[in-house]
Amino acid sequence: MHALLTGQWNADEAHRWRTALQQACPGWQWHEDLTDAAAAQAIEVAVVANPPPGRLLGLPRLRLIQSLWAGVDRLLADASLPAGVPIARMVDPAMTQAMVQTALWAALSLHRGYFAYQDRQRAGQWQVHRQRRADEVQVLVLGAGVLGSAVAKALSQQGYVVCSWRLQGAAAPDLPVLLGQSQIVINLLPLTPATRGLLNAAFFAQLPRAASIVNLARGAHVVDEDLLAALASGQLRHAVLDVFHTEPLPPEHPFWRHRQVTMLPHAAALTDERSAAQVVAAQLARLQRAEPVQHLVLRDRGY
């Protein structure tokens, strides 16, 4: 059985993925270079990490595209993606745990004022601020999928008042009501036409004054100019940003040196090749047993 492994990696990353998948999936032959026409004819599965557009053309036996990323917005943006071939996204407990850790760090730092204490240290100031209890802080988690629901559960366990917002569900509460009550918003939505630019001036204006946002999903969810204006006016106190419109963030972007912005270099929850290779192996085994593969993307919904 033949599989294609394709992504935009450096040589070291490519080596780690190749090794992990070869070990986890004995019986599968992995191809990275399709200059051999016979190999292209034999490929049944493509395991992909945002491949360049057009990379999955000319694979007549392809029957599964398995993403190594949880978010498939960049993959779906490839207009040449073969129609009718199922796409599965990455759902990996190690990635979920990493995302929970990042979200907890951000929420705890905002709630307890640790970012402000960092500033005071640099300024040589020994000054304590009032310590609020977790149950005095409402956190809104946008997205109640694999990652959002795990984050919401972990925050509840810390004592926060947690509410979630999702697309479906009869009891889906009204977003404006939730925004009006939440001091911290954590974004874990997929990037789709419906969610692009959602975190804009109108969104920020509905939050209580001096609220904070944490964007761990995609940069294009945020309108950067609106965020900068909301920080400048005091409507927002702080933003924790892991993801950006352009990555790496251009050196001239104001976020780099903004006192009220804490940045990560898209590192909230990386795909761990050791655990992700096991996820891929389980998917390939399902395919071979003619069982349904898991975590399929609905292309028309965009996630």
Task: Kindly give, in sequence order, each residue whose CB lies less than 8 Å from that of residue 284, ignoring residues fewer than 6 positions away.
Answer: 1, 3, 25, 28, 45
Select from ligand NAP, ligand GLV, none the partner in contact with residue 186, using the beta carbon and a kind-dependent cut-off of 5 to 8 Å.
Answer: none
Considering only residues 200 through 229, tell me which ones interact with ligand NAP, judged by CB under 6 A. 216-218
Site string for ligand GLV, 260-279 (x = CB under 6 A): -----------x--------
Considering only residues 37 through 76, tell me which ones interact with ligand GLV, judged by CB under 6 A. 69-71
3-state secondary structure (DSSP) of residue 22: helix
Select from ligand NAP, ligand GLV, none the partner in contact with residue 7, using the beta carbon and a kind-dependent cut-off of 5 to 8 Å.
Answer: none
Rg (CA), the chain: 21
Nearer to ligand GLV, 208 or 265 (CB): 265
* 7 is an interface residue for ligand NAP by CB under 6 A: no
Minimum CB distance to ligand NAP, residue 123 (Å):
31
Task: Kindly give, in sequence order, each residue whose CB lies less than 8 Å from that of residue 15, ignoring residues fewer than 6 positions away.
Answer: none
Q: How far is CA 264 from CA 65, 110, 247, in A?
A: 29, 15, 11
Considering only residues 241 through 270, tell me which ones interact with ligand NAP, judged by CB under 6 A. 242-243, 266, 268-269
* 190 is an interface residue for ligand GLV by CB under 6 A: no
Please tell me which residue in 63, 266, 295, 299 is annotated as part of the active site.
Answer: 266
* 148 is an interface residue for ligand GLV by CB under 6 A: no
How many Cβ atoms sit within 10 Å of the Cβ of residue 257? Answer: 7
* 279 is an interface residue for ligand NAP by CB under 6 A: no
Q: Which of 210, 181, 184, 215 is nearest to 199 (CA)?
A: 215
* 71 is an interface residue for ligand NAP by CB under 6 A: yes
| Straight-line distance from the first to the last Cα atom of the chain, in angstroms, rounded to the nearest whole number | 28
Q: Which of 50, 154, 179, 67 is nearest to 102 (CA)?
A: 154
Nearer to ligand GLV, 90 or 134 (CB): 90
Please tell me the distance from the alpha carbon of residue 280 to that of residue 7, in angstroms, as a whole number. Answer: 15
218 is a catalytic site residue: yes
Q: Is there a contact between 145 and 95 (Cβ–Cβ < 8 Å)?
A: no
Please tell me which residue in 55, 218, 221, 238 is annotated as part of the active site.
Answer: 218
Contact with ligand NAP (CB under 6 A) among 47, 59, 62, 70? 70
Indicate which residues carry an active-site annotation. 218, 266
Give contact residues for ligand GLV (rule: CB under 6 A). Answer: 69-71, 90, 271
